[in-house]
Amino acid sequence: MPDDDRIPRYMTASWRRVFRCLQGRESVERTSDAVTRALAATLRTAHGVPGLHSIASQMQDAAASSVAQSRIPDSEEARRHVPADIAERAAAALAATMPEVLALVAPDQAALMLAERVLAGLAYHFGLDRMAPLLVAEGTYETGALHALLAEILVSEQVSKLAKRLLIRPNGTGRRAPRRRRFGMPIEDLLNADLSEVR
């Protein structure tokens, strides 16, 4: 039976910026900055995940019950709102794969774990998975290397900071990417540095 799968490929301007970073093989630091900005923009336009704390709490309950569910809590909201759906899927995945960890950590820590996973899910949904096949097809990356690179970007400090901010204001209103603190290079190092290192 023909499937007629729908595969969204459109990228917003902020995700296209990430695409260009990856195409140009920019550093992980620069690319993760671009990803964090794109994620913050996505949270603003997609209205965040208002039920994040409640989902996190139900995730811990589900992990304790050891009954595998495909969505936690499988709400109607998730059918209407993509970020909520991503969050419920992420909660189910965490509950199914890390029940022991979720049983030991405090609710705040569990919520942070979920928030980080939700951001990764949003990044893949709205951007990274839309561009990854293109980057492989045009020969910029080998699939395994790209897979590992994207995973590395999504556990960067910037993304983690954004996850903490998402927990403070889960609906995404006014959410901005955290600024990266840059330290000036000592003059002596600067004089000896290669030009490409001081971009």
Partner 1 sequence: MTAIRSQARTTARFAVPGEAPLPLQLGCQAFLDGRAVIRRLARELPAVAADLIEIAARVYAVDRLVLRPGMRQMRAGSAWARNLWLEMPVREPQLWNAHADRLTELLLWLTDDIWNLEFFQLPQGAGPLDESQGFLFDTVPTGSAPVLFSGGLDSGAGLAAHLLHDDAVAISVDTSNWMQHVQQRVLQNLSTVSEHTCMSLRYRVNLRASSVESSQRSRGLLFLAVGIATAWALRQDRLRVFENGIGAINLPYLRSQSGSQATRSMHPRTLRLAEELAKAISHKPFRVDAPALTVTKAQVVRAAPAIAGPALALTVSCDTGFSARVRHHAPCGVCTSCLLRRQALHAAGRAELDAAATYRTSSPAGSAALQAMLWQVARLRAGLAQPQPWPGLILEFPEVLDTAPLTPTEVISLYRSYVQEWEGLEGASGIGGQLWRQGRTAA
Q: Which residues bind partner 1 (CB under 8 A)?
A: 1-10, 12, 45-47, 68-70, 76, 78-83, 85-86, 89-90, 92-93, 96-97, 121, 124-126, 128-130, 132-134, 136-144, 147
Residue with tokens 């569990």: 110
Minimum CB distance to partner 1 smaller for 20 or for 179: 20
Residues 6+ apart with CB under 8 A from 154: 35, 116, 119, 120, 123
CB of residue 89 vs partner 1: minimum separation in angstroms? 4
Min dist. Cβ of residue 130 to partner 1 (A) = 5
How far is residue 66's CA from residue 99's CA, in Å, rounded to a whole number?
7
Which is nearer to partner 1, 143 or 179 (by Cβ)? 143
Nearer to partner 1, 67 or 187 (CB): 67
DSSP single-letter state for residue 79? H
Question: C-beta of 140: minimal distance to partner 1 in Å?
Answer: 7
82 vs 105, which CB is nearer to partner 1?
Answer: 82
Least distance (Å) between residue 198 CB and partner 1: 30
Extract the tokens encoding 106.
Answer: 């405090």
For partner 1, which is the closer residue by CB, 33 or 85? 85
Measured between alpha carbons, how far is residue 15 from residues 22, 119, 131, 188 in Å? 11, 14, 9, 37
Instruction: Supply the minimum distance, in Å, between the C-beta of residue 191 and partner 1.
Output: 38
